[in-house]
Amino acid sequence: MMLQTSSAVAPESTSIDLRLKVTADKTHCLRTMFRRHHVEPESPTHLTEINNTDTHQVSTTELSMSFIENPAVPKGSIAVITGANGYIASHIADQFIRYGYKVRGTVRNPKKSAWLVPHFEKKYGVGKFELHVVPDMQVDGAYDEAIKGASIFVHTATVIDFNGDPAEVIGGAVKCGMVAIEAAYKEPNMKRFILTSSASTLMPLKKENFFALKGQTVDVDTFGHDAKELAWAPPPWGVEHGGAIYGASKMEQEQNIWKFYEENKSNRPDIVVNSIVPDFNFGRSIDPSQTGGSSSFGLIVELFEGKTLPELWHLPHFFIDVEDDAALHVAAALLPDVEGERIFAFAYPMNWDIILDILRKQNPGRKFADNFHNDEYPVTVKPIARAESLLKRLGRPGWISLEQSIATNTERLKTLDIA
């Protein structure tokens, strides 16, 4: 499933158009950029293990970490993380603090997010985390105060509305991304801008289009699929319409970020942009009572309670543990040679039948929904090896397994009587 840089019409036998629906010049620019920066996994640089001997002891359930010698951004610098109360973003904040960075988390609702400050103070001490309220991330200059003095900007927040007007959702996602990167480029100390993208930028959403790709390859320059067409289609809509709006919004957002990066290299050659492209995240929440219910974490809750899932979720996916996903954000920000890359947060292929089988094995005697009769993921995802090599350079042994991640989810649920 390689990108086509030609503007020629696809053969009639091709079931879907996987080309970027942008100008040929823009497509060529993106393709050249990713090919230039993407490299094969290399041997780990010299690392020194972190010694967690301070009074604020890190949980023993967390994986060991390593110091990065000569990081792209000096230890002690400020990392701004948008949507810091989110399932993934709160883990990103946690890992940056563990690596010795200060985190300024932006949120829209300070009351709902107030728990973050005491959480991180209890774990790491005072002064490592602060909240900054950004009530509307689509307003020009929204991050100008939050970004002051920061060297890292991790943009995880976006517009999410599966039932909304595609013009508002897609336009809003693009706008909030541009507001974020424009703020980053105004800050003299800024060195790294990391975008949290989505696997929805890669694969078709209609089942027949999805499985028509069997045997093809997803690479770093793969963007196109049917999301834009489905998002803008007139009613009546199928079950995939909400996902199409989201997928189109994330694709447009990421493409515009890369375009801005290329066009502004001469203005700020000191700033590096990377994106993380994750699929389904499972694993522990830093506080299950506060995060995870509306994310992919919540789907495990549904299955654990014996419920089935809407048809929208029945396609196979890749999985990544949320801690591995967060670690890849850290790698994108701190490893000096990671520049201008799309990093695929794809650990292992999975479908919901596999997850149900794991849940049954881990919870004998508990009643679960019947299998969905899911198929296997149809394509090869080439950039996985690169992503895993970055994890290992952070001192991690490799991907956390799906079994371990689900066990962590359900054990926490049992403890809190959520499920």
Task: Note the pLDDT tens digit of each residue in 147-171.
Answer: 999 999 999 999 888 777 899 999 9
Q: Is residue 377 predicted with pLDDT exceeding 80?
A: yes
Domain count, the chain: 1
Task: Note the pLDDT tens digit of each residue in 194-230.
Answer: 999 999 999 888 888 899 999 999 999 998 778 888 8
Report CA-CA distances (Å) from 283 to 95, 264, 318, 400.
15, 37, 14, 9
Report, as an integer, the average pLDDT of 131-149: 98
Quick check: is 193 in a domain?
yes
Quick check: is 52 in a domain?
yes
Quick check: is 181 in a domain?
yes
CATH, residue 249: 3.40.50.720
Quick check: is 360 in a domain?
no
> How many whole angstroms separate alpha carbon 105 and alpha carbon 184?
15
- Which of 116-130, 145-159, 310-324 is the least confident region? 310-324
Report, as an integer, the average pLDDT of 269-286: 96
Can you read off the two tokens belonging to residue 228?
Answer: 């834009």
Quick check: is 11 in a domain?
no
Q: How many CB atoms lie within 10 A of CB 255?
A: 21
Residue 362 has φ and ψ, to the nearest 5°, of -80, -15
Q: The pTM is what?
A: 0.84
pLDDT at 396: 94
Q: Please give the distance of CA 3 from its chain centroid, rounded to a whole number.
A: 22
Report, as an integer, the average pLDDT of 105-123: 97
Looking at every residue in the chain, the average pLDDT score rounds to 84
* Residue 54 belongs to domain spanning: 25-204+219-286+320-349+384-401
Pick 21 or 81 by higher pLDDT.
81
Report, as an integer, the average pLDDT of 171-199: 98
Q: Is residue 37 predicted with pLDDT exceeding 50?
A: no
Report, as an integer, the average pLDDT of 323-327: 98
Quick check: is 377 in a domain?
no
Can you read off the two tokens belonging to residue 74?
Answer: 């000096």
Q: Is residue 319 predicted with pLDDT exceeding 60?
A: yes
Quick check: is 62 in a domain?
yes
What is the band of 123 on the pLDDT scale with cuts at 50, 70, 90?
very high
R_g (Cα) of the chain, nearest Å: 21
What is the band of 33 on the pLDDT scale with cuts at 50, 70, 90?
low
Quick check: is 306 in a domain?
no
What is the band of 275 on the pLDDT scale with cuts at 50, 70, 90?
very high
- The full DSSP string for 165-227 is -HHHHHHHHHHHHHHHHHHHHH-TT--EEEEE--GGGTS-SSHHHHHTTTT-EE-TT----SH
H helices then E strands: how many in the chain?
13, 14
Q: Which of 339, 338, 352 is nearest to 258 (CA)?
A: 339
